[in-house]
Chains A and B, each alone.
Chain A
């Protein structure tokens, strides 16, 4: 069974930083591209960032480009999202998801990030 366990969320002031981690088990992590998708309270889903299986290529939504950095450690089966210059509109649950067969499946329970003073 695939498990994705996100951690590192919490309350941070505007302008602050956080690093999210996602520990993956139950699949060969190094074979899968991964994404972060977020969901603001009461809102829909927004794709944030994507990294290829090797980590050689990364992609970002315009809303986070230049502030967020996605990375991975294939030896530790872990995905990361470094978030800098956080703003109130970054408040959301952040999900890490593998791209299986081209689609996001399965999803972890997510990590809540709250940006507030």
Chain B
């Protein structure tokens, strides 16, 4: 089973700041990695797929990069609605599909 480790667990930032979230895989997943955003009380939403492609309707301030075992999600300038939990997920080697444990972005 591929384990995805996200860091940090929590980030406290202010609107307007930029941020980079990390996801590391226990073995190579090539570019088969996605990022999801989950706001309180809501279902997750696909943000980035295949490591670097924005999903439909996702603003350009969100970008993803990486391949192999190291991936990042960057938000160039935080908007108030971006404070949420972010999960990475791999589909390179399944079953099982696996998710990271999440990074919570909170307002400072």
Binding site for B on A (CB under 8 A): 35, 44-47, 50, 59-62, 95, 101-110
Residues of B34-51 whose CB lies within 8 A of A = 34, 36, 42-46, 49-50
B55 CB-CB contact with A under 8 Å: yes
How big is chain B's contact interface, by range? Answer: 20 to 34
Seen from chain B, the residues whose Cβ lies within 8 Å of a Cβ on chain A are 32, 34, 36, 42-46, 49-50, 55, 87, 89, 91, 94-102
* Interface contact B43-A103, CB-CB below 8 Å: no
Complex: how many Å from CA A106 to CA B57?
A: 12
B49 and A102: CB pair below 8 A?
yes
Q: Which residues of B contact A50 (CB under 8 A)?
A: 94-95, 97
Residue A46 contacts which of B34, B45, B99 (CB distance < 8 angstroms)?
B99
Show 20 residue pairs from A and B whose CB-CB distance is below 8 angstroms, ordered by the A residue.
A35-B97, A44-B102, A45-B36, A47-B95, A47-B98, A50-B94, A50-B97, A59-B95, A101-B49, A102-B32, A102-B50, A103-B91, A104-B36, A104-B44, A104-B46, A106-B45, A107-B44, A107-B45, A109-B42, A110-B43
